[in-house]
Amino acid sequence: MIRRIFGCIVFAVLLLGNGASAHHNMTALFDFNDRVTVTGSLTKIDWRNPHIYLTIDVKNAKGSMENWQGEGPAPSWFRIRDVGKADFEKSIEKTLTLELSRARDKSLSGLIRTITLPDGKVISACPQNC
Amino acid sequence: MKKADRVALVCAAALLGVVCLAGRATGQELSAEAKEKATAEARAKRNALAFENNATTIVFFDRAGKRTGGITERAMYGETVVSPDGSRVAVVKNDLPSETADLFIIDIATGASTRLTTSARTEFVMAPVWSPDSSRIAYVTIRKGQEAIYVRPANGQGSEELLYRNPGAFMNLTDWSLDGRFLTYAISDMKGGALFTLPLDGGADRKPTEVFKTDLRVFVPKFSPDGRFLSYIQLDAANRAEVFVRPVDPKAEGGPWQVSDGTFSPGFWRRDGKELYYLARDQAVMVADVGTSPTFSFSKPRVLFRQASKVPDRLAYVTADGERFLALPAPRGPQLQQITIFNRSGEVLQKVGEPALYGGPSFSPDGSRLLVSKTDQQAGKADLWIIDLATGKQTKLTNDTFQKVNPLWSPDGKYIYYASFRNGDFPVHRRASDGTGDEELVYKYESGAFVGLSDISSDGKYLVVDSGGFIMVVPLTGDPASRKGIEFLRTEWTDTLGRLSPDGKFMAYRSDEAQVERGEIYVRPFNAATGQPGDGKWRVSKDGVNAMLHWRADGKEIFFRGQNLESNDLLVVSVELETTPTFKPGSPKVLFKLPGPLNGNLGNISRDGQRFVFAVNVPAATTTESSTPR
């Protein structure tokens, strides 16, 4: 909705850049044209402002484990949408899927676009992160 | 906690036979449900008030600048695009409760509205463009994270067809070529932008062509009627926008041509390709005679008309025949602001100067001067000014096109500190308050991150800022470009507006800890040696707080703006305090109310807590300035 409200006034878009400038310069850190989907076991949650972080262990094509980190919207973004920290805490050590805009430095990290919880529930971080 | 989890908790307790625990859990259940209900009710009231304050209508002007009717339905309109045949407007309407935006077609003659899309919660439609025969609409959506262009019949019959699935993001779809063969869109982010065309033949495997790529941001490409050129807006590093034209064929010679000398709108081509329109920074509607054969040519733009009001309606679209200009009037009519000073009872003590486009009035520490933001309609920009209350003399502090936010006085009144949006960043600068000298960099945070400047410690050692819902203190030592903030408070709650007590021992701040989307004031001890909070936390407010958090100079009273979800009234609330032997807040009291909408900021209250300054809305007079038709 943030992106939409800016979009209401064409010139506001021009002056403010775009919705991805929510906290830091998202487009400087993440490549929105390089998407990756990773599935693995949720190992860690950092549930603080300005962005939450989810860490998952993912088995790569060679069979070795990789430690991926996804950056999501602020806790209040989830809170307003009736998704809580508890939903993620109870998913620790369970399988989670993250669709990410990959970090430009090609590290094993990205900006979260969607999260699929172990029960199949999909949480879209758009429009905030899209 | 989700409802299912709460129910599970109650059941588990009952099964264990722990009656008293079950009772407590049930009590918590009711309490949580009541809280959820209160949150939902508050959200509904906030949305209703936001609609009331922001919904507008649509009006049309002719080439002489006279109003010629419009659409009376009030809505929160996004894009508004007139069909090529001039009979209908495609509008995007924002819906606050569902956080959606959807596409509607409104018949201009009858006002009849046809809904074209229905988005799921938090999903939306944007950027409608008409097919040249006015029969279809293409638009962009983001659904489950996927941005795409769709098309559907404009009469609401028939189904939606996928045209293009964007592998990336930020597609700004803005035109459909007159021959019907191409769409055009821009993609821009903080690193620059590009213009694209998308062929409509070729089936599902359509591939866009990049026309032009730049380190600057580019927006709103529009085809010339012969399809050989694109007009577009380019934004430079100083946030200055201009209308440019360049060939669609990247290999073609010539261009780009800068048509405007400062613009507030895209360029709009007339259907015969002989005129190009835009809105100048001074709000005049401009026209340039143009040609596209053998190559692009244009005359010096001239004023077509200037709206009569001192606060013009926002021009949003020009019809293809160049005869009608669609605008969105301000929701409450054109308004200016009168700087007005009140006493503790809400009685007017002084009116300062004449009404103008003012914002954010703020008392100097000694109460003799005001800092204000003033918009110059002619120059199309807002700058910071100092007003001497005894003489009325006004001194202009800044002269630039940067958007300046949260200006603050230094504790000694010698400097003004402010954050400003500069090419994607929010650095904090300061300037001498007497208008002399240049601005100096004070602090630069992460690239692209918004910085809310909220205080400077009375000893001048710390800057207090918030960003993304957490509060930092920045030691004002060393090289300004290398200064690092210390996290004072970083939680899962949204914590903002850190305000240090005059003796530097406490930090007051606003947090939504108690209820999402509603702030309350809390106070924590501040350790000046470490920049960290000490033990203890006290809640000062109880019924919601919007802004204006302020300590009285003796530290024995806190003021804030109370929340009023039922009306626009601004509530000035006071809480008396004891700080020894321990911190102890009294009960909040409403000092006075002012009719709104009225903005509050961090400088509205004099340090002695006796005077309150606001930029009060007054109707803008319609000037006698006449339109200047050709």
Which one of A27, A77, A105 would you mutate to disrupt binding with B, by most B Cβ within 10 Å of its Cβ? A27
Element (H, E) at A101: strand A95-103
Q: Which of A14-23, B53-62, B446-455 has the highest mean pLDDT?
A: B53-62
Q: Which residues of A touch B187 (CB under 8 A)?
A: none
Does residue B278 carry a pLDDT above 70? yes
Asked if residue A20 has pLDDT above 50, the reply is no
Beta strand B257-258 pairing with B241-247 = antiparallel
What pLDDT shows up at residue B623? Answer: 44
Residue B11 pLDDT exceeds 90? no
Nearest chain A alpha carbon to B452: A23
Burial class (CB in 10 A: 0-12, 13-18, 19+), B496: buried
Name the residue with tokens 């690092």. Answer: B484
In angstroms, the CA B170 to CA B235 distance is: 16
The C-alpha atoms of residue B193 and residue B235 are separated, in whole angstroms, by 10
DSSP per residue over chain A, as a string?
-HHHHHHHSHHHHHHH--GGGSSS-HHHHEEEEEEEEEEEEEEEEE--SS--EEEEEEE-TTS-EEEEEEE---HHHHHHTT--HHHHHTTTTSEEEEEEEEETT--SEEEEEEEE-TTS-EEE-TTTT-
Q: Which two tokens stand for residue B270?
A: 């007339």
| CA B565 – CA B42 distance, rounded (Å) | 7
pLDDT at B574: 96
User: If you average pLDDT over residues B544-550, what whole number do you get?
Assistant: 89
Closest residue by Cα to residue A56 from A67, A64, A46, A65: A67
The amino acid occupying position B492 is E
Chain A residue closest in CA terms to B96 = A1
Beta-bridged to residue B71, according to DSSP, are B58
CA distance B542 to B587: 9
The tokens describing A106, both together, are: 């090609």
Q: Given a cut of 80, is residue A22 above it in pLDDT? A: no
pLDDT score at B289: 98
Instruction: Find out whether B330 and B311 touch, Cβ atoms under 8 Å.
Output: yes
Q: Which of B322, B290, B280 is nearest to B224 (CA)?
A: B290
Residue A25 has a pLDDT of: 63
Q: Rounded to a whole number, what is the distance in Å from the CA of B368 to chain A's nearest CA?
A: 34
- Nearest-Cα distance to chain A for B345, in Å, is 37
Alpha carbon B16 to its chain centroid, in Å, reads: 53
- Per DSSP, the residues of B442-498 read EE--STT---EEEEE-TTS-EEEEEETTEEEEEE--S-GGG---EEEE--SS-EEEE
Report CB contact under 8 Å: A32, B170: yes
Q: Evaluate if residue B174 carries a pLDDT over 70.
A: yes
* Residue B13 or residue B426, greater confidence: B426
Give strand pairing partners of B351: B340
Asked if A130 contacts A1 with a C-beta cutoff of 8 angstroms, the reply is no
User: In degrees to the nearest 10, what's the CA dihedral of B422, B166, B315, B232?
Assistant: 70
Backbone angles phi, psi at B29, to 5 degrees: -55, -50
What pLDDT, on the 0 to 100 scale, is given for residue B269? 98
Report the alpha-carbon distance of residue B578 to residue B203 in Å, rounded. 74
Rounded percentage of chain B residues whose pLDDT exceeds 90: 67
pLDDT at B402: 86
B264 contact A CB<8A: yes
CB atoms within 10 A of CB B76: 18
Average pLDDT over residues B465-470: 92
Is the pLDDT at B152 greater than 50? The verdict is yes
pLDDT band at A24 (very low <50, low <70, confident <90, very high): low
More confident residue, B205 or B345: B345
Whole-number CA gyration radius for chain B? 27
What's the pLDDT band for B119 if we cut at 50, 70, 90? Answer: very high
Tell me which of B6-10, B399-403, B498-502, B571-575 is least confident: B6-10
Q: Which has the closest alpha carbon to A99: A52, A35, A30, A33?
A: A35
Tens of pLDDT along B332-366? Answer: 888 899 999 999 999 999 999 999 999 989 999 99
pLDDT tens-digit series, residues B86-101: 999 999 999 998 889 9
pLDDT in tens, B553-602: 999 999 999 988 888 889 999 999 998 888 999 999 999 999 888 888 88
Question: Is pLDDT at B495 greater than 90 in this prediction?
Answer: yes
Residues of A in contact with B188 (CB under 8 A): 17-18
Whether residue A13 and residue B235 make contact (CB cut-off 8 A), yes or no, is no
Residues in chain A: 130
Strands (E) in B226-334, as ranges, are: 229-235, 241-247, 257-258, 268-269, 275-279, 285-291, 297-298, 302-305, 314-318, 325-328
> CA end-to-end span of chain B, whole Å?
66
| Whether B145 and A18 lie within 8 Å, measured CB to CB | no
Q: Hey, are the CB atoms on B447 and A24 less than 8 Å from each other? A: yes
pLDDT 10s digits, B473-492: 999 999 999 999 999 999 99
Does the pLDDT value for residue B64 go beyond 50? Answer: yes
Contacts of B457 (CB under 8 A, 6+ apart): B411, B464, B473, B500, B504, B528
The length of chain B in residues reads 630
Residue A23 has what pLDDT? 56
CA B387/CA B393 separation, integer angstroms: 6
Give the pTM.
Answer: 0.82
Q: Specify the DSSP class assigned to residue B621.
A: P
Rounded distance between C-alpha atoms, residue B457 and residue B461, angstroms: 6
Instruction: Give the per-residue pLDDT at B417.
Output: 96
B164: closest CA of chain A, how far (Å) = 15
Using DSSP's 3-state secondary structure scheme, residue B531 falls into coil
Q: What was the ipTM of the complex prediction?
A: 0.79
